[in-house]
Chain A
């Protein structure tokens, strides 16, 4: 009675593990970006090795790219840090030298790697997917086993299409109940991380299960799986179902025709068997869930929007509160906001921008706030513009930018100034994550847009309806 994870694991073992050696695990899809790959390509060059399966690589530029318009490398030299421009040039060269198709500046497909993969239909149920990026867990939303790896392992996959892996443990998170209106997938995953803690998933692959999960759209499921790593989990996954197949059907890199029918038939056997056993189980009722906001310096330091910041004598807890300039026992509601960022692999998809636009439409961003809206990919950008969402953002006084990781990681010049408070739809509120000294509050696109309009942390339920 195997689980979804166990079925995928078993079907990808090239050489089984033993006491002395880990399993050799086959990788179906390898996602590549400019920041975590240059040293891996150097290794291949030094060893005289080719890339074994360039056809199983999907490469793009996302992390250190500017979000002002750049169509050529020459444009990049003008707007970018020299080291970032060099990294992008190196990626172009590496992909060319090793015969990997790069979806670069001239490509209509370019985007954050975890937004681009699913929208191209490259992310398939039952597949093993890796990337030198911890948010690879996003792809687990399709019932894939997807996880982040380091650069040495990027080299292993380039050279052999395999990884050496010990089998992780499994953690079932059972989510019962129906989520209230105006409460989003982002609020759900923040609640889960707050419940199990930032180390609660270490050594485990999470399977999110239950009625509350089945009811989510693919974009919402991606938001949930995306932040599995913020609970320390190796990966997060959701059983594929009709929602999954409807999303994937007809996309450019999805199977077509008879191959599609055969694939769906195979995918239908993937969900965990009824009696599947997990190493750990956690259950949560989501029917009373509220919008969530973080108050500290990791995603586990999170409360409902109407709660007060908890009290704790631990020195590290007090240090986090001091960094964030928040007080124990006081609410986050009403705290003044300087920057609002809507984007990232967590919340940079079309539905996220639509959600933000529900609040921004016909309103104006508070004069103290800089609002930056960064679509997750060229495709998201095109679709949003076709719906006029770019105009909604601009009319509200926000900036509508080019796709990329942007202010989630602050590698491309999009940063929050020191000491300023940002409400961000991204995934990490670590010290300095959005810029040296930046203070980050993680929230949903609805809550972020509400903060932009009011200039302070606001319950978004007061502004929609």
Chain B
């Protein structure tokens, strides 16, 4: 995984609360055995019409939002299924950070392991972001803060996850280094 220091981008805004992972990537696209290529089906049933063509009014399809890598979602983003295909699809599409007032536990955990930043902000900052789609923002991991509208707000992130993201460290390596402790645990609990 590439180390991440900060992300600068315009925002794209999906204001709906409780956006579930079935919307992010519908289940029928889960019969894959790889992580690649899911971006084309991101928000598939909101993005495409019955004829398979892009719906021009959907935010991700509007020309001014192409290339934006910070997604501002409504409260409780990523609820529902544990499918890691959701962050895989967002990343494959080009989204690198998701901003909300609350982000569902499993989605948040999956995102952190793939380099998609879950950014939780206060209601006032969130309101401003929802009201100002396309705003230029900076998500900075060094200071764990989001800069928007000339203001800086910090966001919570587990220290270990932050370290791994900033240094491109794979968490599995850390676990594998604990093998002796795991063996001792297994012997004590056999």
Contact = CB atoms under 8 A, between A and B. Distances in A.
A431 interface: yes
Contact of A203 (B105, B160, B172): B105
Contacts of B81: 133-134, 428
B20 interface: yes
A433 B179 CA distance: 40
Contacts of B149: none
B98 to A, nearest CB: 15
A399 interface: no
Given A26-B185, A199-B76, A409-B27, A160 B104 contact: no
Contacts of B15: 316
A152 B113 contact: yes
A152 B76 CA distance: 22
Contacts of B174: 21, 164
Contacts of B80: 134, 229-230, 428, 430
Contact of B23 (A168, A411, A431): A431
A149 B158 CA distance: 17
Contact of A152 (B32, B50, B110, B163): B110
A22 interface: yes
Contact of B45 (A35, A90, A234, A431): A431
Interface in A124-170: 132-134, 148-153, 155-156, 159-162, 164, 166, 168
Contacts of A132: 82, 84
Interface in B38-86: 45, 50, 74-76, 79-84
Contacts of B182: 14, 24, 26, 52, 160-162
Given A26-B185, A199-B75, A411-B30, A430 B20 contact: yes
A174 interface: no
A86 interface: yes
By DSSP majority rule, is chain A's interface helix, strand, loop, or mixed? Answer: loop
Interface string A351-369: 0000000000000000000
A-B pairs with the 10 shortest C-beta distances?
A: A150-B110, A150-B84, A199-B76, A38-B33, A148-B82, A83-B31, A134-B82, A152-B113, A151-B84, A430-B22
Interface of B: 15-18, 20, 22-23, 26-28, 30-35, 45, 50, 74-76, 79-84, 102, 104-106, 109-110, 113-114, 158-160, 163, 171-172, 174-176, 178-179, 181-182, 185-186, 189
Interface of A: 14-15, 19-22, 24, 26, 35-36, 38-39, 42-43, 47, 49, 52, 63-64, 81, 83-84, 86-87, 90, 132-134, 148-153, 155-156, 159-162, 164, 166, 168, 198-199, 202-203, 229-230, 232, 234, 298, 300, 316, 319, 409-411, 418, 428, 430-433, 436-437
19 contacts: A14-B181, A20-B163, A22-B158, A24-B178, A36-B82, A38-B34, A86-B31, A87-B32, A149-B106, A150-B110, A150-B113, A164-B175, A199-B102, A202-B105, A232-B79, A232-B104, A409-B27, A430-B23, A433-B27
